[in-house]
Each structure stands twice: as structure tokens, then as C-alpha cells.
RNA sequence: GUGGGUGUAGCUCAGCUGGUAGAGCACUGCUUUGUGGCAGCAGUGGUCGCGGGUUCAAGUCCCGUCAUCCACCCCA
């Protein structure tokens, strides 16, 4: 939890710096709110909550655990028409997916989302990239890639290859390019029954998947508008100092609701897939209210960040905030120890009093050292008589007498 | 949703072809009744994930089930 709170704190700080306001929503939504938003694969992974009573016995579900934070946000926006726009909100909460867990993949995990609602702007799109970049850098990452693509460009690419009617299948396969290579993707497409000519045309278009101008030229007129948008996003992101942002024509993004630019962040050699994803979803709020509200957002996966940070020693070890253990010398002196602990807390110092039997100071020191508590206070007859405490620094074993009035200052971190 | 690995003391694990459970660390005590981290000695601690089955006998074999990890799929 110390590590998690550290990471969450850093991310919230970055979000707040951009003016995002905090929001939380309930763990569950109505089933209808979540269905039809994530595509076929995603929909299978929604945890459904059986109805109470008779309906539940028949397997009917009326509620479901949220699958992400974006759809609940869209629902909130739809129900609160008076919000001043553009509305910028951040949200750090768990989501649930009925998946089989494995490395970097959990049934319950935290997403850290920042979204800009109510405006269709390339600056807003770029701000999402800048926020993600800032957050990753603030956490200590240097080797990461922020990939950028455009849903409409993807459509144009697939159409130009001659497979417009089976766009989803092509995108799922192409998205695996950096994992299974050109041959792997080709094999998958052929296995799915795509024509050799379609596959060949696809590779012509994607000959240089990182080169926006080349992809645009290969696709033709249909690519002009999305390509122009991407250039603006790239320029704005650069102006905001976003690091390692690059166009990638093979970035697909599975979620069904994206309509414009899409993003994804991966830690170089992180081994946990993407740690962040997002994009523009101008149609989602309208699915609830009929009122068209444009929106764009980015999401960071807390646990995936933690997995990589843990592996790379980027997290502080197990620590406690407790600064001092006040030992207990003997029952007759319990009052003195408790009063010292109380005075320390009143002075704002995190202080614990030994809860086991008094005496056996060695045991108490061992406990404190094991907890990572830096100081121990000893109050025996000699100290009480002299109106001081013995303050022992457990890290270097140095011990000295400290007047009560100076104790808080002496142990403060 | 598919395939595979693992589940034995608080922790990390060992336990051969079935014969009635062990190590290291941790913990407790003593050496050291006002001071931890080192050392020595002694000790506490286990429904062997759970439920069935086979057998004279099951941690060990079989079936089921749950949990967990890995890969696929998908994604944060």
C-alpha cells in the first residue's frame, strides 16, 4: 500500500497540475449502461451481477461491475447537463474484468484516468499525451513509447487494402505486428480467409508504419483529414513537452467507442503490455442522452506500472511512517511512557507505544527495527527522575538523553 | 473462453518406485533481569488447499473442486 499510495499520489499530482477535477463513481452500473460499448471480446469480460430474488435464479443480471472508468464518466456527463464545459475530470478507482489473470493482468485493477469532455480539440487530444508523458516521467520512467494513431486513418487503411467489411478482424491482427511480425500477422489474416491480394496491399500501405506521410500517400485521399489531425496533435504535444510520442499506423486499440485519435503507452521491455491507453470518443455520451458531447481521455494502469517499477527497483522498500516507538520499562512507569507518546502525537509526530509486556527492552528495539521505525524512546527510573528521555537512533545505535520539550523536534523526519 | 504448472510449518521449499512429515529463515526461551541487529544451545509450530475414491496403509496413485501462476486470447 505504501508503494501504491506513492504511485497514485504522483499521478494525481500530475492530473491536478493540468486542472483535472476529481470524480468517483459507484463500483457497479446498470448492465445496459456497459453493454454495447467495448466490442465483442470486451463484452464477454464484463462481470455481471445477478438480480436479487427470482430473476437471479434464472440467471438474469441487471447490474454489472464497471469495466473501465470511461463509460461511467460518459453516463455521469449525460446525466449532468449543467456541467461547465469543457469539463476535465480525473478518476483513480478499480475496474473489474472477468479475465484469467496472469502476469500484469488482473481481474481487479486500478485505472488512473484523465478525460476532457465537451470539446473537440486537437489541443485537448495532445494534452492527454502530455499528461501521460508527464506522469510516466514523474514516476521515474525514461524508456517508454507513446504511440499515436487515428481511428479514421485505420478505417481508411483497411478500406484501401480492400477489406472495409471486415475492419475489426484486420485491426486485431495488425495490432500484433510488433509481437508476431509481418509473417505472423499475414498467417493470421490468411487463416481468417483474407485474400492474398488484400494482405499484400496491406503491407504496401504499411511498408513504413511509423511514417505518417508515407502511409497517407499510400492510402490516398481518405487519409488526408485524419493525417492532418494527427499532425496537429503531434505539434501540440511537442509544444507541451510530451516525450517519446510517435505515430504508429499499426496501433489499433480494441475498445469499440473510439472515433478519432487513439493512444497507447508501453514501457520499453516492460513485459506487461501497454501501461496506458486512450483516445477520442465523440459518440459515447450521445449513446446515453442523445446529446452529442465530444470527449477524449487517457488511462494509466496502476498495477502494470507497479509490476515494472517493482522489477526495476523504482519503489521504496517496505516502510512505515511511524517515527518513534516509545518503549515501556515497567508497569509503574506506563503512565510516563503513554504521556510521552501522546505528547509526540500532539506535536504531529507519528508515535507508537509498545503494546506488549513492559520490560525486555531488547525485544522492543527488535520490534521497532523490524518495522523500520527509526527511533526508540526509553523511559526508566533514571530518566523519569532527571526529567529526560533516552532517545536511541535504531539505525546507528547512538543514544542520548533528550529533555521532553525537545523530543518532538529531535525525532521529526 | 483454450492449454499447462503449482498448492506441505508464519515465509521459501525438500519429501525417491505409497509405509504414517523435514530443512533454512522467522518466532519463543536461555547464555545476557536497563538496550535489537552477531554467535551458541534448547523449544513452539503442520486438518500435507478442500471433497471423494483405490489400498492393510495416501503428502505420494485416481476423480472432482477451489485457489494461484504462466502462455494463448484480449487488454490497463
> What span, in angstroms and rounded, lies between the C-alpha atoms of A127 and A297?
9
- pTM confidence score: 0.91
CB-strand contact A100/B, under 7 Å? yes
* Reported confidence tier of residue A317, pLDDT bands at 50, 70, 90: low
> For helices A224-239 and A122-138, what crossing angle results, to 10°?
50
Q: Which residues, including other chains, have CB under 8 Å from residue A309's CB and lie 6 or more apart?
A: A3, A7, A139, A140, A315
The CATH superfamily holding the domain A324-411 is: Anticodon-binding domain (3.40.50.800)
For residues A34 and A71, is the Cβ–Cβ distance under 8 A? Answer: yes
Residue closest to A172 by CA, chosen among A254, A98, A276, A61 = A254
For residues A255 and A247, is the Cβ–Cβ distance under 8 A? Answer: no
pLDDT given at position A59: 81
* Reported confidence tier of residue A175, pLDDT bands at 50, 70, 90: confident
Chain segment A13-25, per-residue pLDDT in tens: 999 999 999 999 9
* Reported confidence tier of residue A169, pLDDT bands at 50, 70, 90: confident
CB within 7 A of strand B (chain A, 190-249): none
* Reported confidence tier of residue A95, pLDDT bands at 50, 70, 90: very high
Nucleotides on chain B that have an atom closer than 7 A to a protein CB are: 1-3, 27-29, 32-37, 68-76
ipTM above threshold 0.95: no
Nearest nt (C1') from A41 Cα: B74
Residue closest to A74 by CA, chosen among A39, A23, A110 = A23
Residue A300 has pLDDT above 70, yes or no: yes
Architecture of the domain spanning A2-27+66-311: 2-Layer Sandwich (3.30)
Edge to edge, the sheet with strand A21-22 lists: A21-22, A87-96, A108-117, A295-301, A274-280, A261-267, A144-150, A245-247
Query: What residue segments make up the domains of chain A, in order of their start?
Result: 2-27+66-311, 324-411
SS3 (DSSP) at A189: helix
Average pLDDT over residues A237-250: 96
CB within 7 A of strand B (chain A, 146-175): 172, 175
Cell of A41: 471480446
Amino acid at each position: 500500500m505504501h508503494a501504491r499510495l506513492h504511485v497514485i499520489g504522483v499521478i494525481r499530482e500530475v492530473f491536478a497540475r493540468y486542472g483535472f477535477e476529481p470524480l468517483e463513481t459507484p463500483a457497479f452500473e446498470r448492465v445496459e449502461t456497459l453493454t454495447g460499448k467495448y466490442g465483442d471480446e470486451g463484452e464477454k469480460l464484463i462481470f455481471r451481477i445477478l438480480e436479487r430474488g427470482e430473476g437471479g435464479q434464472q440467471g438474469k443480471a441487471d447490474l454489472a461491475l464497471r469495466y473501465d472508468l470511461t463509460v461511467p464518466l460518459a453516463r455521469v456527463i449525460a446525466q449532468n447537463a449543467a456541467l461547465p464545459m469543457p469539463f476535465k475530470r480525473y478518476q483513480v478507482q478499480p475496474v473489474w474484468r472477468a479475465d484469467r489473470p496472469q502476469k500484469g493482468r488482473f481481474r481487479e485493477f486500478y485505472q488512473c484516468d484523465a478525460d476532457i469532455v465537451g470539446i473537440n480539440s486537437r489541443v485537448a487530444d495532445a494534452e492527454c499525451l502530455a499528461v501521460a508523458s508527464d506522469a510516466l516521467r514523474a514516476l521515474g520512467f525514461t524508456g517508454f513509447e507513446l504511440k499515436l494513431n487515428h481511428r479514421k486513418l485505420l478505417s481508411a487503411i483497411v478500406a484501401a487494402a480492400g477489406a472495409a467489411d471486415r475492419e475489426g478482424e484486420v485491426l486485431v491482427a495488425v495490432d500484433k505486428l510488433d509481437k508476431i511480425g509481418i509473417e505472423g500477422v499475414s498467417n493470421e489474416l490468411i487463416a481468417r480467409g483474407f485474400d492474398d491480394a488484400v494482405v499484400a496491399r496491406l503491407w504496401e500501405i504499411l511498408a513504413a508504419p511509423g511514417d505518417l506521410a508515407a502511409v497517407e500517400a499510400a492510402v490516398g485521399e481518405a487519409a488526408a483529414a485524419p493525417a492532418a489531425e494527427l499532425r496537429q496533435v503531434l505539434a501540440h504535444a511537442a509544444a507541451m513537452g510530451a516525450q517519446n510520442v510517435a505515430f504508429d499506423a499499426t496501433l489499433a486499440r480494441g475498445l469499440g467507442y473510439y472515433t478519432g485519435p487513439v493512444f497507447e503507452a508501453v514501457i520499453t521491455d516492460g513485459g506487461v503490455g501497454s501501461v496506458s491507453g486512450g483516445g477520442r470518443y465523440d459518440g459515447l455520451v450521445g449513446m446515453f442522452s442523445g446529446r452529442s458531447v465530444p470527449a477524449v481521455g487517457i488511462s494509466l494502469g496502476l498495477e502494470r506500472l507497479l509490476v515494472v517499477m517493482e522489477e526495476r527497483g523504482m519503489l521504496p522498500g517496505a516502510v512505515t511512517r511511524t517515527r518513534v516507538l516509545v518503549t515501556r520499562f515497567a508497569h509503574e512507569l506506563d503512565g510516563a511512557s503513554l504521556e510521552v507518546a501522546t505528547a509526540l502525537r500532539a506535536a504531529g509526530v507519528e508515535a507508537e507505544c509498545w503494546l506488549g509486556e513492559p520490560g525486555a527492552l531488547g525485544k522492543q528495539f527488535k520490534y521497532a527495527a523490524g518495522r523500520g521505525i527509526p527511533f526508540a524512546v526509553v523511559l526508566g527510573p533514571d530518566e523519569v527522575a532527571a526529567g529526560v528521555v533516552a532517545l536511541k537512533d535504531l539505525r546507528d545505535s547512538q543514544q542520548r538523553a533528550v529533555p521532553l520539550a525537545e523530543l518532538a523536534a529531535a525525532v521529526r523526519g
